[in-house]
Amino acid sequence: MSSEPVSVFHTVHEVRAWREAQRTLGNTVAFVATMGALHAGHLELVNLAATKCDAVMVSIFVNPAQFAPHEDLATYPRTLPQDIAKLSALPHTIAVFAPSAQEMYPRGITTDRSLQRGTFIEVLGLSEMLEGGTRPHFFRGVATVVAKLFHIVEPHVAVFGQKDIQQCCVLRAMIVDLHFPLKLVVAPTVRDPEDGLALSSRNVYLTAEQRQRAPAFYRGLRRACDLFAAGVVDRTQLIDAVKQEATKEGLDIEYISLSSPDDLSELQAVGSAGAVLSGAWRMGSTRLIDNVLIGFEF
């Protein structure tokens, strides 16, 4: 595809007009949902999306519904001009949807779930464990906003990153349950080439000292992968491999999980279907997540 200026839209009406124009041209559309503060990981999602369809729509929206009142909604990085510049440098046909909260939630939205009014989507059975254990509001907010965006953009393909593996499982189920006519593509996690830390918009919160220690969790994940390659399938041994590397650097581990790729239930051993080895940890006030896929591909 040839490089063209990035079109930026702020309203549902504008996006639907763009979508109708793509339909008239016979173009297929791929979609990448982001909260902005774009980094190389996001750009790889866009690059992959561009190989799947004729045009790419990128949403940039910090979604209030997936934050709790005590979380970092107010301070989450918002860098729209820089994000558009990064997308403009890519050799693809790209449009950006950067709506306001009022545009996405016409009846208003608050981070206090007890005060929320309107229509929300919950994917039961996949949202309550792992990330949902400490962030019970999170996947309700994600499923709701992504369903809205699918409805607005009407993509043929949606590309999400493996780093948010539970999100991918939740959205895969939602796509099936709500009969969205699209294909979900999961892209490999993009990592720092030097130390393997998964790229994340929240990495900017880390101090220099925290940034130096943060990759220990991934080293543990890699050690567990090596054990699996050597024949180890036991839950305790694989999780202990991650824990040992993480505790060496004093990481504040929130959880480490070995779960089923199908329903995210906890496994005692890696079976023929494989497993997701994942976890979350804190560096000061910053919460990070990571995972590896063992014995299967998404």
Q: Of these residues, 39, 42, 137, 156, which one is catalytic?
A: 42
User: Are the CB atoms for 171 and 184 separated by under 8 Å?
Assistant: yes
User: Are the CB atoms for 42 and 34 separated by under 8 Å?
Assistant: yes
Give me the sheet containing 252-259, strands edge to edge.
Answer: 252-259, 275-283, 286-294
SS3 56: strand
Q: Rounded to an integer, what is the distance from CA 7 to the centroid of its chain?
A: 23
92 is catalytic: no
Amino acid, res. 196: G
- Which ranges of the chain does DSSP label H, i.e. alpha helix? 12-25, 40-52, 80-88, 101-104, 131-134, 138-153, 165-177, 208-213, 216-229, 235-248
User: Are the CB atoms for 270 and 285 separated by under 8 Å?
Assistant: no
User: Are the CB atoms for 146 and 121 separated by under 8 Å?
Assistant: no
Of 234, 210, 214, 212, residue with least CA distance to 224: 234
User: Are the CB atoms for 99 and 10 separated by under 8 Å?
Assistant: yes
Amino acid, res. 272: S
What does residue 116 show for φ and ψ, rounded to 5 degrees?
-70, 145
SS3 64: helix
SS3 29: strand
Active site residues: 42
